[in-house]
Every structure is written in C-alpha cells, then in structure tokens.
Amino acid sequence: MRIATRLPGERTLAEGDADKIAAIRGALIEIGTDWRARHPWLDAHQDQIGLAFFLVSIGGVIADAVLYGLGVLPWWATILLTAFWLSILHELEHDLIHSMYYRTNKFVHNAMMFGVWFFRPSTINPWVRRRMHLHHHKVSGTDSDLEERAITNGEGWGPHRTISLLDSFLGMYTKPFRIHQIAKTYVEHEASTPEEVRRLANIQRLAYFPLGLFHYTLWHLFIGISIYELIAGPASVPGIGVLTFLAVTILAPNAVRTFCLHFVSSNMHYYGDIQEHNVLQQTQVWTALWLKPFHALCFNFGETHAIHHFLVRDPFYLRELIKHDCQQVLAEHGVRFNDFGTFRRANRFALAPSTVEA
C-alpha cells in the first residue's frame, strides 16, 4: 500500500493518527489511479465529462418544466425529478470550486460556475463559496468553519435547527446573532489585515445577492399565499399562475434538495471537540438504508464526502464509482460509519460531550 505524504498541518498530530491518515490517503490514491489506468478516458476527457453532466442536468431541469407545463408530469414528480438534477449541479459546483473542470479555460469554467448558480438560486454566490469551502477544508469542525456551522452543524436539535434546515433565510433571521458571530469568527480567522477583514465582511453580506434574494422572496410569497388560501379559500392573486409554475419547477425543488443536503452534511461532519487538521475526526460515513431518500436528492453525499476530505483530487462521479473500495479502507482505519448518536450530541465527536451549543 502506498503511504501518502503528510500535509503540513498533519505533522502536528499524534503519530498514530498521522500514520492512519497517510495510509488512507495513499490507498485512496491507488484506488483512483487504478480506475484511471483501466479507463484512461476518465483523465483524457475530464473537462468534457463535467460539461456533459452540466448540460444533461440543465436539460433535465428544463425538460421537467416543459412536461409539467404540458400537464404530463404531476407537481410532485416534477419537484423530485428536478431536485435530482439539481443535486448533480451541486456536485459540479463543488468540483468547479476545486478547479476540476476547464482550469485553463476561464470562460467555460466561469460559465459553468454561473450556470450551477442560476439553476440553484437558493445557494450563495459560488465564487464567494469557493473561499469558504477551501477554508472549510483547512479548519473543518472548528469555530471558524462558516460553511458547516451556517447550516447548523454543532447546534443542538430544537426548533431553530429544524427551521434552518428547512429554510436557510429563516434560520438566519430567527437567530441573527449566532450567524453574525460565526461569520465574524470566519472573517477574522481568514483575513490577515484590517482592510481584508472589512472587504471579506462586505463580500459575505452580499453572498446571496441577487439570486438568493430573488429565490427566497418568491418562495416565501408562494408559501404565504398558499397558507392564506388553505385558511381562507382560493384567492384571486395577480400572477399566481406564474408563481405556482416557478414554485413547482425551480423553487420547491431547490428547497427540497437543500434540505436533504444540509440535513446530511450538517450531521455527518463533526464539530467542536476535534483536533485541528485531524481528518479522522472530521467526518463519518452514512450508508444506512433509511438515508436512501435523502441521498437520492444530494447525490450520495453522506456515502462519498468523507473520501473527499482525505483526497480532494477525484471528481464526484469517480468518487461514486470507487466508493465501495474506498469505504472499506476508511472502515479498516477507524473512520466511523452510521454514528447516529451525533444527533443527541450536536455533532460532537466525543461519545459523551460535556457541553453542546443550545
């Protein structure tokens, strides 16, 4: 088995953990390299494969909308099918953030970045998210990990966490001081000068502008009208037909997809009592059968994301192809599987944490 080079931060870890991480990374490199050797087109056409997934997924979203408009697809099937296509676009965004497609062709790369954002307007600007996500890899599970903490990782279960998973905007508005403190910690940790602190803080304030504001305004308007009609009966609202069409074809699919992703991601990442740079403690692997409906709408995130924490190199479709071999390596070296006690521990790694965030 190949032993991979330790990353700089891992040199401070206990020898046993550092050795395990290096062994895992080396094994994952071998597994991915073997697949590439047996299927050389995976390397030769990585850009084109990513673009194909991009075009097919957008085509699926548009086709679902057309079929719904023609009365062929019912509303519930439209929402679920479209959420599936959007989950692929999320994986593409994640790979694009790591510059896996069209690294040297900035026009195509940025066009794909805009496309995955345009069809997922409930998310933040992907160019803003890039810095947050790369920071997440450096400090996963610690106080400045804005990407995970903003989606409730580390928070005790209760009304606020439930609301936040269902609707990111409502989560921010119902506990504004929490998100402000998390963002402040991230900015102060990531920026190195007072000027950069101010600039990064301003960027964070505009992370949802303009698509996120557009999405949540229409989504909340639709929910409000629906609740009113449920109580008072049908109402004559100008443009309600267009709003309903948008709700079924893009707003609700994004809401469902986001909930599935955030539910899985916020609970399979650990927080608060882990050692910095210790990848063994950052994530677990979720393979339980009851998670299949969630995984169907976040492209098996809980089954494959731990692989990505150890080895960033491979695009999402390759991680899916090699996941069983990789999961065996992770299990052999002590990475946890299906640790659902994390729900009552508010994502703490220790099996009996002393404190959790309310």
Mean pLDDT score, 341-355: 85
Q: Is the pLDDT of residue 347 over 80?
A: yes
Q: What is the pLDDT of residues 285-324, one digit of tens each?
A: 999 999 999 999 999 999 999 999 999 999 999 999 999 9
Q: Please report the pLDDT score of residue 4 as a whole number.
A: 61
Is 162 inside a domain boundary? Answer: yes
Q: What is the pLDDT of residues 39-97, one digit of tens each?
A: 999 999 999 999 999 999 999 999 999 999 999 999 999 999 999 999 999 999 999 99
Average pLDDT over the chain reads 93
Tell me how far apart the alpha carbons of residues 318 and 236 are, in angstroms, rounded to a whole number.
50
Is 67 inside a domain boundary? Answer: yes
Cα 253 to chain centroid, rounded: 15
Is 75 inside a domain boundary? Answer: yes
Is 165 inside a domain boundary? Answer: yes
Is 4 inside a domain boundary? Answer: no
Tell me how far apart the alpha carbons of residues 165 and 159 are, in angstroms, rounded to a whole number.
10
Mean pLDDT score, 159-181: 92
Q: Is the pLDDT of residue 355 over 70?
A: no
- What residues make up the domain containing 158? 13-343
Q: Please report the pLDDT score of residue 106 as a whole number.
A: 97
DSSP code for 337: B
Q: Please report the pLDDT score of residue 356 as a whole number.
A: 63
pLDDT band at 331 (very low <50, low <70, confident <90, very high): very high
Query: C-alpha angle 177/179/183, rounded to 5°?
Result: 115
- List, in order, residues 6 or more apart from 132 with CB less than 8 Å away: 124, 146, 147, 186
pLDDT band at 13 (very low <50, low <70, confident <90, very high): confident
Is 218 inside a domain boundary? Answer: yes
How would you label 116-137 residue by residue, b for 16+ Cβ within 10 Å and e otherwise?
bbebbbbbbbbebbbbbbebbb
In the chain, how many domains are there? 1
Is 96 exposed, middle or buried, given 0-12, 13-18 or 19+ CB atoms closer than 10 A? Answer: buried
Tell me how far apart the alpha carbons of residues 263 and 152 are, in angstroms, rounded to a whole number.
9
Is 2 inside a domain boundary? Answer: no
pLDDT band at 235 (very low <50, low <70, confident <90, very high): confident
Cβ 327 vs Cβ 303: under 8 Å: yes
